[in-house]
Chains A and B, each alone.
Chain A
Amino acid sequence: MSPALRIEEVGFRVGDRVLLDRVTVTAQVGEVLGIVGPNGAGKTTLLRIAAGDLTPSSGRAMINEHDAAATTLQEMSRLRAYLGPQGVADNPFTVRDVVAMGRHPYRRTQIERLEHDQIVEDSMTSTDVAHLATRAIASLSTGERQRVGLARVLAQDTLVVLLDEPTSALDIGHQEAVMRLLRSTAGHDTAVLAVLHDLNLAAAHADRIILLDDGRVRVSGSPGEVLRGDILSDVYRQRMRVIPHPDRDCPLVLTLDGE
């Protein structure tokens, strides 16, 4: 089976600066892919190229055999959803209104009104914002907004879901809940690509991790293959140690004193 998302040898330059250098990433349906790396490594740029927002200087990003940079906005809206780190910008609508906007790509299809409504309600329930449905966006906390943004993205019901730090404003309980949700989303014929800053969150919940450093893929593979003390210490310029998680079947990353 061909992968849902295929980023092939993608390069991206702005003037003389190389932001991405021959990056290749593939994601299959059912997978949760974590993208990690220090600030400025090119994580968001990579995500935006996958979304079709940016046209790569070389190489290409394919979603289900559609070139992301050359496909119409309308078609893309049914192939991929994208969530920025701030979740939902300030706007006068209610939570339910905003989540329902995720259904916009399907407004002229055969889908019944009731089915749209059901998808919207389900998305709100799974992101734990159903109790906020009638609240105005302006009255929500940062973390609540992030979950509303996630609900909107889930309502869009796409093959590929692209998330830029979806847990950055969440408490630990909601972080874990969102990661479990991404796992179950992937289970419903979706490939999930998430930029994550928390290495332990990636370790516990991603099927595969891609470690970006200075625009290049430093290493990619299972959490155990990528999260190694020597590599992480070098990439993050921070002494780190990786030990087996005492309770979960995954690595546990610890920071140590010194660079």
Chain B
Amino acid sequence: MTLIGLSVFLVGLILLGMLAGAVPVGIDDLLHMLGRRLGLTDDPERLTDSVLWAIRLPRVLAGALVGAALGVTGAALQGTFRNHMADPHLIGLAPAAGLGAVAGIALTPAGGSPIIMMLLAAVGGAAVALLMRRIAQQVVETTQFLLVGLALGLGMLAWLGAIVLAWDSPRVPTFTFWVFGGLSGSTWASLAAATPLVLIALIALIVMARPLDLLALGDSEARHLGVDVDRLVRFVLIASGVGIGGAVGLGGVIGFVGLVVPLVLRRWVGPAHRWLLVLSAFGGAALVVAVDTLARTVAAPIEIPVGLLTAIFGAPVFVWFLIRAGRSVS
């Protein structure tokens, strides 16, 4: 029931997102495009048809996909590291995926495939996820762990910026894309390349929901209950890296979604990962679609980068949670 309701809500947001933008589009235009695509009508093509089909639809779908990937990996990383502040952006996965993506662009000939770009983004994300596991085993203090991740991420972001600025090629998305994300470049081709990566990550992580719960008891307790902890963690981190690879390849580096969505939802559905992971995927998708719609309309015709808005909304929520958490501990 809940899932049906959430799906309807998400589809509603997606349709709403398609109506917003520089070219005015009405509901009848939307229905016209859908009718033509589904072969339900022989009406002559309208100008809005191609806008909706080639630009708007891939863009909102990309927003949903990126949001789902960020939400679900955020929830999974927080469970794996037993740290509710662990987030694909904060602990360096997303910047690493960005570096991987740029390497992918460099390695493929002009007009090369987004598939290689995203695969390398996935490799970058997974590599840093595994590295952060090593770091978590070295430092006990969770604050220290987060600071290491943050420094790592900022360092990689700086390298990313340096490379993008020095290269200065029209083939590489702008620096803004790598720091604050952006969905304006979404095409059916990039969507097709990212979808398998994100779907693999979604399924892989949701399947591991129960063992992830047991991890909360501690590594050796989980082992005593039959969970191969090292294998589980490796699996979850690689899956998270793959999901983030797809998300970053498609929408750039967007912060706070993977942090705030699970944080808010955990209060609603509790800590058990089965629901938390599924709802974080929905919540992340809805948030990014909604924020991207806002980003396109609020200052039209100027477009605000998605990540800028998620940071503007997300940062205060995060700070509020941090202060609350600080109070309940002391």
Whether the Cβ atoms of A92 and B226 lie closer than 8 Å is no
Q: Which residue of A lies closest to B329 (CB)?
A: A138
Q: For the complex, what is the distance from the CA of A88 to the CA of B272, rounded to whole Å?
A: 17
Whether the Cβ atoms of B226 and A73 lie closer than 8 Å is yes
Shortest Cβ distance from residue B266 to the other chain A in the assembled complex, whole angstroms:
7
Task: Report the count of interface residues on A (CB-CB < 8 A).
Answer: 26
Q: Indicate whether B57 reaches chain A with its CB closer than 8 angstroms.
A: no
Q: Indicate whether A105 reaches chain B with its CB closer than 8 angstroms.
A: yes
Q: Using Cβ atoms and an 8 Å threshold, which residues of chain A touch B223?
A: 53, 73
Shortest Cβ distance from residue A225 to the other chain B in the assembled complex, whole angstroms:
32
Q: Using Cβ atoms and an 8 Å threshold, which residues of chain B touch A98?
A: 217
Q: Indicate whether A236 reaches chain B with its CB closer than 8 angstroms.
A: no
Contacting chain A: which of B98-106, B208-216, B277-285, B308-316? B208-216
Cβ 8 A contact of B227, one of A53, A73, A93, A156: A73
Whether the Cβ atoms of A89 and B217 lie closer than 8 Å is yes
Q: For the complex, what is the distance from the CA of A101 to the CA of B226, rounded to whole Å?
A: 11
Cβ 8 A contact of B210, one of A73, A76, A107, A156: A107
Whether the Cβ atoms of A93 and B271 lie closer than 8 Å is yes
* B258-276 vs A, Cβ < 8 Å mask (1 yes, 0 no): 0000000010001110000
Q: For the complex, what is the distance from the CA of A77 to the CA of B226, rounded to whole Å?
A: 5
Whether the Cβ atoms of A82 and B224 lie closer than 8 Å is yes
Q: Using Cβ atoms and an 8 Å threshold, which residues of chain B touch A93?
A: 213, 216, 270-272
CB neighbors of B among A72-87 (8 A):
73-74, 76-78, 80-82, 84
Q: Which residue of A lies closest to B218 (CB)?
A: A89
Q: Indicate whether A51 reaches chain B with its CB closer than 8 angstroms.
A: yes
Q: Indicate whether A180 reaches chain B with its CB closer than 8 angstroms.
A: no
- Once A73-B228, A77-B226, A104-B226 are accepted as A-B contacts, the answer to whether A89 and B221 lie under 8 Å apart by CB is yes
* B290-325 vs A, Cβ < 8 Å mask (1 yes, 0 no): 000000000000000000000000000000000000
Q: Which residue of A lies closest to B229 (CB)?
A: A73
Q: For the complex, what is the distance from the CA of A102 to the CA of B266, rounded to whole Å?
A: 22
Shortest Cβ distance from residue B277 to the other chain A in the assembled complex, whole angstroms:
15
Q: Which residue of B lies closest to A78 (CB)?
A: B226
Q: Indicate whether A91 reaches chain B with its CB closer than 8 angstroms.
A: yes
Supply 19 further A-B pairs (C-beta < 8 A) apart from A51-B224, A76-B224: A53-B220, A53-B223, A74-B226, A77-B225, A77-B226, A82-B221, A82-B224, A84-B220, A89-B217, A89-B218, A91-B82, A93-B270, A93-B271, A93-B272, A101-B213, A104-B210, A104-B226, A138-B328, A156-B225
Q: Which 6 A-B pairs have the closest CB atoms?
A: A77-B226, A92-B271, A91-B216, A74-B226, A89-B218, A104-B225
Binding site for B on A (CB under 8 A): 51, 53, 73-74, 76-78, 80-82, 84, 88-89, 91-94, 97-98, 101-102, 104-105, 107, 138, 156
| 22 CB < 8 A contacts A-B | A53-B223, A73-B226, A73-B228, A77-B225, A77-B226, A80-B224, A84-B221, A88-B217, A92-B216, A92-B270, A92-B271, A93-B216, A93-B270, A93-B271, A94-B270, A97-B271, A101-B213, A104-B226, A105-B226, A107-B210, A138-B328, A156-B225
